[in-house]
Every structure is written in C-alpha cells, then in structure tokens.
Amino acid sequence: MRILHAYSSFHPKRGGVPVAVASLAQAQRDAGADARLLSADRLGDPAVEALFAGRGWAELPLIRLPAIRVGGRVMPRPTRALTTAVRSADLVHIHGIWEPLGPMLALAARARGVPYVVAPHGMLAPWSVGRHSRRKRLALAMGYNSFLRHASFVHMLNAPERDEVARGLTLPDRLEIIPNGVFRTDFSQLPAKGSFRSHHPELGDAPFVLFMGRLHLQKGLLILADAFREVARQHPTARLVIAGPDDGGREPFTMRARELGLTDRIHLVGPLYDDQKWAALVDATVFCLPSYQEAFSIAITEALAAGLPCVISEAAHYPLVQEIRAGRVVPLDPSATASALLDLLNTPDETAQMGRRGAQHVRDHLAWDAIAEHSLQLYGEIARSPQPNPESSRTR
C-alpha cells in the first residue's frame, strides 16, 4: 500500500509531532508498506537533515515542496510535485490542522479520488482551539471545517483526545485511535546507568527530576519551577534537569528559578537525542511533565519505556500512568506536583516497582511495530470502502 504522510515541517523545533509522524511512516515501511513523507521544509535544512540522520531515517523518502514563510507560518506552493505525490498514493495521511498544507492536500486528494485521513495531534482540543481562537474560528468557517468533514476518519491519539474534541466542529462519524509509540530497538538495550551523570558531574549522586520536551510555557515550566521550590526545601539533595530545545520558555523559566533561589539546583542541558536522551532517562529518578495540553506525549512514553516513573498533569492526557500504577497524575497545581514528586523521591522501592510496570506496558502495547500493523488494517478498510458522503457528517 502506498501511503503519503504530510506535515508542514519536520524541523526539530516543531516538537514531538515530526518525530511521531516519521516514526509511524518508518514502522509502516518496516511492515512492508510504501510510506513516504511530504513537507514544506526548506531544501537541505541542516536541522532537518541532522534529525533524520540521527534517528536512522536517512532512507525514509521525503518529498519537499517549495514554500515561503509568512509570520512564522509555512506557506507551500501548489506545484506539480504535490499533485504527483497525491496521485501516486493509495491514501494520504495529513498531520496537523492549522497550516495551509492540509486543506491544499485534501482538495488535491478529493479531486483525484484518493482517500485521506486527518490527525489533529491535539490541535482540536479546547485549550489549543482557544489560543488565537478568532483566527482559528475564521479558518474553520473559511474551509477548514470542510477539510475535516471530508476525511475518511480522524486519527485520534487516545481516548481523552477523542472525548475532548472541541464542540462545534464538523467531523466525520469515524474517529479512530492510533497511539504514538516507541521502537523496540530504542529501549531493548538502554545505556548503562551512570552514563548521563558522567557527562554532567555537577549532578554527583543526587537524585534528580527530569523534564524533557520543548521549552515552552505550554509545558508547565513555571508550575514545575514553583513545585520544585517545595521539593528543594524538603529534599536537601534533589536536583532538577531541564532538557529540550528552547521554544520561548527558557528565559521566563530561568527568571522564575532565579527569583525562587533555585539556580544552583537546576540544570538546563539543552536538547538531548538518541543515546544521550536515553542515558538521561535511565539515570533520572522521576520524570515530570506538568503540561497544560498534550495529545499523546512521546516523552512520557519514552520515560515509561526506560523504566522511569512519571509525575504528570491531568491535562497531559495520559491517564494510563495512573491506571497501570507507573506514577502519579495530578492537577495543574504546584503543590500537588510537589507532593507527588516528594512521594516518589522518598519511596525508592515503590518508585522502582512503578518503573518496571511502565516498561512492561510499553513493551506489550506501545511498540511501533504493533501500532503500524493496526494503522495499516484501518487504511485497508478505507481503501475497500467508498469515499465518505459529505452529507453524512455530523457536528460535535
């Protein structure tokens, strides 16, 4: 089966979505499908090239469209490359909502009778729609609702995302869950314990809380700073490691840490990839993500895969952490976050058991090979079915 996965940009600063999209495509190729990527990245962008090379995706076909950038948005040009890519696909899987590439591809697919699927990646949740809401409501009225309505199905990452889709959107009847995952090869042979500490001797033997993700205020960085003030007060040796590329949140976070007198207990180590990332997960004591909005966090899944217990917010939409007793899910509140972190830091035996439960669950249910097989089954059903009738859509 020929699948075209489209996302506006695979630049690392776009967060976890590019990784999830390319990982799904790679897993589908490993399963025997002809999966390709399409984006409007600048040709030869070194950051994109480095990301693909570092993750072993160098052979993953990537069709790049010419584009201009207007106010931070990627504006692709409707070229022959786009229509050729759509015409040669059995199904188009469009990732993301608010970039022009999605509706452009949807129109090309409908004109050629090619079914398409849309994956919002959390972008239709009320929190996300509420940001720049006037602009997004206008976009929906100007054609984005039609783009969604004609999809064969909407790809949701988990039940919380499906259940929380913003009201007033016109969606197809079919909402299917395809989660994000982790490659078995990534966590089958983890780095030796102590590897990360050897590169960061300032940590010594102290237990540390690890945040890993884009440094954006959406990720709850200020909540984490306020929570860690209480952790530092009650736990005299604990430290906080912040790993990830800056996306506007580094300066406000460092200012808050300075105001709270935590500068000497917090370590910003920049983005970590591949072995460095897994080494940090192996050496950490607790992973923490007090985010205001997540669809299905790859960082949480990777933490679980590494046997690291998690403290996350309810808004991170990963109730599984609590359900399988692999950590704590808490309100968006510094006190609740601090209390959960202290519980795990002060009970190492219980924390170790949580880590083992999380790792086992990822091995059994969240490996990319199983997820790819499930996605290909869904695609096959679509390929054997007639195109959806726009009049049969419903409003949520």
Backbone angles phi, psi at 171, to 5 degrees: -120, 155
CATH number of 2-181+368-395: 3.40.50.2000
Question: Around Cβ 260, how many Cβ atoms within 10 Å?
Answer: 16
Length of the chain: 396
Query: 39 with 10: CB under 8 angstroms?
Result: yes
Q: What is the mean pLDDT of residues 53-60?
A: 74
- For residue 116, list its beta bridge partners: 92
More confident residue, 82 or 391: 82
Question: Around Cβ 44, how many Cβ atoms within 10 Å?
Answer: 8
- For residue 395, list its beta bridge partners: 170
Q: Looking at the predicted structure, is the pLDDT value of residue 228 above 50?
A: yes
pLDDT digit string (tens) for 130-153?
777 777 777 776 667 788 889 999
At residue 296 the predicted structure's pLDDT band, cuts being 50, 70 and 90, is confident
Q: What is the pLDDT of residue 13?
A: 63
- Kindly list the strands in the beta sheet with 310-313, ordered across the sheet, starting from the edge strand earlier in the chain: 266-270, 239-243, 208-212, 286-289, 310-313, 327-330
CATH 3.40.50.2000 fits 184-365, yes or no: yes
pLDDT digit string (tens) for 326-352?
999 999 999 999 999 999 999 999 999
At residue 305 the predicted structure's pLDDT band, cuts being 50, 70 and 90, is very high
Average pLDDT, the chain: 88
Query: Domain spans of the chain?
Result: 2-181+368-395, 184-365
Query: 178 with 378: CB under 8 angstroms?
Result: yes
Q: Do domains 2-181+368-395 and 184-365 have the same CATH topology?
A: yes
pLDDT digit string (tens) for 250-275?
999 999 999 999 999 999 999 998 89
